[in-house]
Structure 1
Amino acid sequence: MQSGEIKQLTGIRGVAAAIVMVAHINGDRLPVLKAFAYHNQAVDLFFCLSSFVLCLTYAAGTGAAFPVRKFYVARFARIYPLYAATLLATAVISAIVFGGFATYPQIGQDFVGQLLMINAWPLIGRGVHWDAAAWSVSVEAFCYLAIFPVVFVLSARTAAFSPAVRHALMLAVGAAGAVVGYWWFTAAVSSWALPHDALPATAFWSPVARGATMFAAGWLAYIAYANRDHLAAALQRHADAFVLLVLSLIGLTLAGVLPPWAALPLFAPMLIALMNGDSFAARALSAKPVYRLGVLSYSLYLVHFPVIYALRPIEAKLTPWLYVPTAVGITFAVAVLSYSRLEDPARVMLRDWLNRRPQAV
């Protein structure tokens, strides 16, 4: 297993979470925050980053056996306690703010689906997420169950492919994620209101396909990095130039010059570039404030919608210049509390408890 945390990868996760949070809080209120409109693509980065880090952590492709129990205990302890807590908090806040559940006949089905983290899954899920950001957590759980064990086992065999084939695959699946995410997903999944008039279940193939493709791209980036091939060497040698290229594409996207998916195929190779810890980009993302943002990223991601719902009664009474910083500040305060009082302690407790084995009699 990878020893030690790679701080620049934690940092970039924090930047992505902050972009999502501010974008949802801001909406179209303050044009000066237009750069935060890149929030949909930030979620694609989460999927790519998750796969890359998991492959590093569990040494995929090195001959190590897939540690089934250890992996699933760690993943459950990491994501479920806060997920369940924010689901319940959102239900309570929504019942108070939006007037209850009297006209919501599917409440039981939707609650159970979310509790089991399957509501973004195709056919069996209805695509309803009371905490709107939680759709991606459901997709992440799908990737843990259906994608990661497969790519872990295939890692050694895939590493034997020619580098050109692997690199083409990495870019191709990244491009596929772009197509799924922005030619299908955005059009199909357009409303998260509570109560929710569900779209046909088949519409929700798109979130899982979007997550799976970017997850696979992150895995292929790991294969290139782990094998120290020529692409990985070049990306790390020119890390800052490559990151600048990605940022330039993002800037052109925000300016309306390029389509929203233009930079997505480069997310996976960007992670390889960031593994050069001496680059300016890696050092900037490892800086203490950015790293701390990364530590809080999961809490920021899941608590910001409950905060938005809770502030709905006073939202219209505040000017945008007052509402946005107030909501962001409250979200940060809640995230700090949720991380220190719930997310981190629950992760440690659950992991230790579930990893205990019965004593021999």
Structure 2
Amino acid sequence: MTDAPGKGRIASVQMLRFLAAFAVLIGHVEIFTYHTGQYLGVTLYRLPLIGHTAFGVDLFFAISGFVMIISSERLFGSADARRSFLLRRLLRIVPLYWLALAFMVLWGWRFGPAADAATAASGFAFLPHASNIAHGRMVPPLEVGWTLNYEMLFYALFALSIASTAQTTARRIATLLGILVLIGTAAPLPQPLAYWSDPIVIEFLGGIAIALLYRKGLRLPSTLRAAMLGCALLLVFGPFQDLPGAQGGWPRLLAWGLAGWLILGATVLGPLPLPQARWWNRGGDVSYALYLVHMPIMTVMQLVWRHFSLPYGTAQANLFAATAIALSVGAAALAHLIIERPIARLTATGRYATVPS
């Protein structure tokens, strides 16, 4: 959900960005496909372990910490580093998200369920809020935006922490996030502080630590990196989801958060020749758009299928899923071309052009 590190983009990071977004897409495709059938009176077989695709979010957070250090190289020690960083972040994240969010709000007002003013406004402001259309869950009308509420907190604290060196910046943001999580663990906090103090925010710090090791030139042997990937797979597909409070909190950090760090470290702290690296770079480029557009597309598809009571069985469900994937990838590529790339060219001008692409 974040930028690739500039002109010297790391192909392995681009690959991870795309795979993380695609994992989230696959999980949501399964949910929409299944519940469309439920509405039409058809109960479909649910794929085992499909819920583990949500791990893509945790991998995104690790990548975000890594990328913020790498892509901010020219900002450390600059007089207007905070302003430049925040402006670049806002231009990168806000326009496409607001467009997708506005679509979901307007769609809900027309076809239901309709978000109330507080739910809609908090979504645009990146403020966690108990949604009136999601059974009180802390999600905006475009549900994937819950992660951006954490991202924006991270960006604000990163800007506040920017210093003359990456190491000092890392220590400052680690202190701020650590204090926030410790307070939230020790005592109940009011919203939105309770939301922001979830240990999931520590996942950003793991990515920062890996970026510092990468900058120092640390490279790990291939056998160790393979072992790291194996351990990560065990954590991703392990039984932690059956634990109390596993949707967040410390269990998620210690399972999926750690898995995200292991995967990121294994891919960047050593050579990883990628076939067709150019295509992985393009996949990473469209990953943020893919993350945002797939739920609006499936929301429309689901309404059309329900409205016309189209035939629905295993074959039609497979068609629904395949169409949703194809349309989501195509729409993401288009959104990147006509929205993100022009903005990227705008932010790549001037003294601090480190480039979101």
| 1:328-343 to 2 correspondences below 5 Å | 328-343=325-340
Q: Aligned runs of 1:139-150 on 2, under 5 Å? A: 139-147=150-158, 149-150=160-161
Task: Give the CA deviation at 1:340.
Answer: 1.0
The match for 1:187 is: none
Distance 1:217 1:47 in 2: 9
Once structures 1 and 2 are overlaid, which stretch shifts more, 78-87 or 346-355?
Answer: 346-355
Matches within 5 A, 1:84-233: 84-98=98-112, 101=114, 106-107=116-117, 109-119=118-128, 127-147=138-158, 149-150=160-161, 155-157=166-168, 202=191, 205-206=194-195, 209-228=198-217, 232-233=218-219
Distance 1:81-1:352 versus aligned 2 partners, 3 A rule: farther
In the TM superposition, residue 61 of structure 1 has moved relative to its aligned partner by 11
Q: Check whether the contact 1:218–1:268 (CA below 8 A) recurs between aligned residues.
A: yes
Partner SS, residue 128 of structure 2 = coil
Distance 1:226 1:61, change over 3 A: farther
Identity %: 21
Quick check: 1:61–1:159 contact (8 Å CA) kept in 2?
no
Contact 1:246 1:266 in 2 (8 A): yes
2:267 aligned with 1:283: no
> What is the deviation of 1:83?
0.7
* Matching of residue 250 in structure 1 with residue 236 in structure 2: yes
In the alignment, what sits opposite 1:304?
294
List runs of 5+ in structure 2 lacking aligned partners. Answer: 35-43, 131-136
- Does the C-alpha gap of structure 1 residues 353 and 276 become closer, same or farther in structure 2, counting only changes over 3 Å? closer
Alpha-carbon distance change, 65 to 222 in structure 1, aligned in 2, over 3 angstroms: farther
Question: How far apart are residue 140 of structure 1 and its match?
Answer: 0.6
The residue number in structure 2 matching 1:51 is 65
Aligned residue identity for 2:96: L
Deviation at 1:274, TM superposition (A): 1.5
Distance 2:325 2:255 in 1: 29
1:220-263 CA distances to partner (integer Å, 9 max, x unpaired)? 222333334xxx44366732332233124324459989976524
Counterpart CA distance in 1 for 2:281 and 2:96 is 20
Letter in 2 for 1:214: E
Partner of 1:18: 22
Name the residue aligned to 1:240.
226
In structure 1, C-alpha distance between the alignment counterparts of 2:162 and 2:51, rounded to whole Å: 32
Measure the CA separation in 2 of the matches of 1:114 and 1:353. Answer: 31
1:295 partner amino acid: D
CA distance in 2 between partners of 1:89 and 1:311 (Å):
14
Letter in 2 for 1:250: V
**Alignment CA distance shift 1:212-1:153 (3 Å):** farther
Offset at 1:152?
A: 5.3
In 1: Cα distance, 2:91 partner to 2:168 partner:
30
Q: Is residue 91–residue 130 contact of structure 1 (8 Å, CA) maintained in 2?
A: yes
**CA deviation string 1:291-340 (max 9, x = no partner):** 33222111110111111221222345343222211211221222122111
Answer yes or no: is the 8 Å Cα contact 1:11–1:291 preserved in 2.
Answer: yes
| 1:283 aligned partner, one-letter code | L
CA contact under 8 A between 1:235 and 1:269: conserved in structure 2?
no
Residue 333 of structure 1 aligns with an amino acid whose one-letter code is G
C-alpha distance in 2, partners of 1:350/1:3? 13
1:307–1:331: 8 Å Cα contact kept in structure 2? Answer: yes
Once residues 212 and 50 of structure 1 are traced to their aligned partners in structure 2, the CA distance between those partners, rounded to angstroms, is 11
Which structure 1 segments of 5+ residues have no match? 161-168, 184-199, 357-361
**Kindly tell me: are residues 222 and 10 of structure 1, through their superposed partners in 2, closer, same or farther at Cα, counting changes over 3 Å?**
same
What's the counterpart of residue 195 of structure 1?
none
Q: Give, in whole Å, the separation in 1 of the partners of 2:27 and 2:100.
A: 19
- TM-score (normalised: structure 1): 0.70
Alpha-carbon distance in structure 2 between the residues aligned to 1:53 and 1:40 = 21
For the structure 1 residues 300 and 201, does the alpha-carbon distance in structure 2 shift closer, same or farther, using more than 3 Å as the test?
Answer: farther
Cα 1:306–1:287 change in 2 (3 A) is same
Looking at structure 2, the residues matched to 211 and 60 of structure 1 have their Cα atoms a distance apart, in angstroms, of 28
Once the two structures are TM-superposed, the CA of residue 85 in structure 1 deviates from its matched residue by: 0.7
2:198 is paired with a residue of what secondary structure? helix
Report the number of matched residues.
310
Equivalent residue number for residue 186 of structure 1: none
